[in-house]
A = this chain, B = another copy of it.
Amino acid sequence: MKKWTVILEIFLKDGIFDPQGKTIKDALHNLGFKEVEEVRMGKVLKIDIYGDNKNEVFEKIKKMSEIFLANPVTEDFNIRVEEE
């Protein structure tokens, strides 16, 4: 089996208030970075995993995300599978 690295990004769904992102945006404005329009903050997981092919790995990470890693009610996620 090959080894893969997966990047899984999890953000609050658009429209759900993100207080961390708001705080960071305000701080950046105070530091002079006024050109910043919006900041959303999320989690990112880097997962090293064994698998036969890219599609199998993708489906496995999708399942983990749906049942455990993300909250499908409030969060969106996206998955990037890279060969090591």
Contact = CB atoms under 8 A, between A and B. Distances in A.
B49 A36 contact: yes
Copies in the complex: 2
A43 B46 contact: no
Interface string A41-68: 1111111111100000000100010011
Interface string A25-53: 00110010101111111111111111100
A39 B47 contact: yes
A44 B47 contact: no
Interface of A: 1, 3, 7, 9, 11, 21, 24, 27-28, 31, 33, 35-51, 60, 64, 67-69
Nearest to A69: B24
B3 A68 contact: no
What 7 A-B pairs have minimum CB-CB distances, sorted nearest first? A44-B44, A37-B48, A38-B48, A40-B46, A35-B50, A42-B44, A36-B49
